[in-house]
Amino acid sequence: MKAARPDVKTRAKFWSAQQDLLVTMSLIGINLAVFVYVTLRDPASLSGSGSIGSAQLGLTRAALDSGPVGFGLPGNEVYVSDGSDWYRLVTSGFLHFGILHLAFNLYFLYVLGRIIEPLIGRVKFLLVYVASLLAGSAGAIVLQPEGLHGGASGAVFGLLGLLFVGYYLRGINPFTTGIGTVLILNLVITFTIGGISIGGHLGGVIAGGLCALVVIPRRPGSFPPWAAYAWPVVIGLLSVAVTIYAVQNSWPA
């Protein structure tokens, strides 16, 4: 019986094949791990009033530009950045301001992941997620450069944009699926409630919609298979390029 068992590599492959939401659950796990880490370092982060995690992981143009810039009250800075903290383009997408902020984003990530990951596959799902995250960071820097940004909502809005445009391209009215209503409602909330990263949400949804043009094309076979993997990478790199240009040229003025 022992000799008849598949080897470890084969068993791992079978296990992986059974996990329809491997990337989705991994992203949720990373977000949870970051939140636990930040809360342990600064318990006030549980309610959204913490400063250590925000100062070290949050996104603001000042931390990307030539520093130094301090986070916190003058003379009592929690963290001092020397500038060029480009890692914040990614880490800000895993930082959340309080348990409610985390819960809402992870709920939508799970709901959308259940639809999209089995539909387009793990690798493309992850590429679209990262491209939307980077585009959300770019939008935040362009539209609200003085703000402190964080949260998975830019990437989540990208998933909403991907589904919305993808359904439309395939001849399905997004509003009959509920995705259109959810997207419009969240956009209304974005523009009417203070303290929300407008640029982050808009950047994410635009990137997701652009990704859908190739990842979920109007006619299957319209693009070579590799294009569905390359296109989100292009969107992500363009987003980083926009961010660099905006920081180096103080754009928009």
pTM for the predicted model, two decimal places: 0.90
Q: Tens of pLDDT along 67-119?
A: 777 676 566 666 767 778 999 999 999 999 999 999 999 999 999 999 999 99
Residue type, 173: N
Q: Tens of pLDDT along 171-225?
A: 999 999 999 999 999 999 999 988 899 999 999 999 999 999 999 998 888 899 9
C-alpha neighbours within 13 Å on the C-beta side of residue 103 = 6
222 is known as an active-site residue: no
Distance (Å) of CA 133 to CA 46, 161, 192: 23, 12, 22
User: Is pLDDT at 12 greater than 60 in this prediction?
Assistant: no
Task: Give the span between the Cα atoms of 228 and 210, in whole angstroms.
Answer: 11
User: Is pLDDT at 15 greater than 50 in this prediction?
Assistant: no
Please tell me which residue in 92, 132, 153, 197 is annotated as part of the active site.
153
DSSP 138-192: HHHHHH-TTS-B--THHHHHHHHHHHHHHHHHTT--HHHHTHHHHHHHHHHHHHH
Task: Give the span between the Cα atoms of 138 and 53, in whole angstroms.
Answer: 20
How many residues belong to the chain? Answer: 253
pLDDT confidence bin for 232, thresholds 50/70/90: very high
User: Is pLDDT at 63 greater than 80 in this prediction?
Assistant: yes
- The pair of three-digit structure tokens given for residue 33, joined into one six-digit string: 């791990």
Average predicted confidence (pLDDT) for the chain:
89
Task: Give the span between the Cα atoms of 128 and 63, in whole angstroms.
Answer: 26
Task: Give the span between the Cα atoms of 62 and 131, in whole angstroms.
Answer: 23
137 is known as an active-site residue: no
